[in-house]
Structure 1
């Protein structure tokens, strides 16, 4: 039996990042993210899911050719209090097949986020900066509220150095290598 005094409300942990990420994986459920230290449940609408699926369908032929997988698996941002579940991430099939836990953004080839009224600003600012800082080569923002798409590339310490857009929905958007295809954005 411990004789050490316990102060009510004293629940300090030695590694808050680890504690948060444990909670998100084991307590909060399958559809929750950590955004700048705040656990955020996800519940996308069907219109939101439709926009993500439209990107996935257009990429599918290239994914098969390049042996890539499209999914919405966990992305860890080590050293930060962030744990993201992108609407769509494209990763090498071999890597996806052997990874039970989370990947990190620099293991992706493309990350896609579709905005909703509840998360639009997070996708436009926090996720754009963090995906760039953590090396995701391409970040496609499908902004349903602004009705535009933007492709970010050239990741670096401060985020992305190159921006293609914003382009109004209906404007074809070229995805560079390895995809080398043009997305039809008219029905997002």
Structure 2
């Protein structure tokens, strides 16, 4: 057995994106995301969780009719240093049943983010832009600090092309197809 000290060397990682995402999946716990290369642990409050649950309950009848499920599973954004865990995402049930790892934003039908004092600006800017660039068809932003919600749709290379809102909490907000549902926002 050698007792020689290990000399520091010049190490490089051949794929930093892959190494960072591996680390987040295996060593950062169940609830951590990577936002623009920064590992960010998540610990939502009960009020935060309640807002996501209010949306989930209203969506459930449409999800069952359309063969969809909702959850907060991992979303990978390949080619970037981003690994998001949305507060709520809607995906085809068949896809969810056979996917052990992360999905891509363009495999979702709806992504919902609920702001917190610590992450509001990230949800308003970074995630809105990235979800649009990566093809999430609809992004619903529930801004608890501003007391308003906004529906973003028609994703494109620079983000979303269509913005419906912001609407103050307490008003009805329309989610476009395939949901075609008026979401009540007074429970946030």
Q: Structure 2 length as normaliser, TM-score?
A: 0.95
Q: Structure 1 CA distance, aligned partners of 2:93 and 2:156?
A: 25
SS of aligned partner of 2:56: helix
1:173-188 map, 5 Å: 173-188=173-188
User: What SS class does the counterpart of residue 24 from structure 2 fall into?
Assistant: helix
Q: After TM superposition, which residue ranges in structure 1, 4 or more long, deviate above 3 angstroms? A: 5-8
Query: What does residue 128 of structure 1 align with?
Result: 128
Give the distance between the partners of 2:16 and 2:167, measured in 1 at CA.
40
- Secondary structure of 1:73's partner? coil
Partner of residue 85, structure 1 = 85
SS at match of 1:112: strand
Counterpart residue number, 2:115 = 115
Q: Distance in 2 between matches of 1:132 and 1:87?
A: 16
Partner of 1:162: 162
Structure 2: how far apart are the matches of 1:17 and 1:6? Answer: 26
**Which residue does the alignment assign to 2:32?**
32
Q: Match of 1:49?
A: 49
Distance 1:6 1:83 in 2: 34
Q: Measure how far apart 1:12 and its partner are.
A: 2.5
Name the counterpart of 2:8.
7
Q: Distance in 1 between matches of 2:107 and 2:176?
A: 17
Unaligned runs of 5+ in 1: none
Q: Which 5+ residue runs of structure 2 have no aligned equivalent?
A: none
1:69 aligns with 2:69: yes
Do structure 1's residue 102 and structure 2's residue 99 form an aligned pair?
no
Query: 1:17 is paired with a residue of what secondary structure?
Result: helix
- 1:31-68: per-residue Cα shift (whole Å, max 9, x none)? 00000000000000000000000000000000000010
Counterparts of 2:7 and 2:153, CA distance in 1 = 50
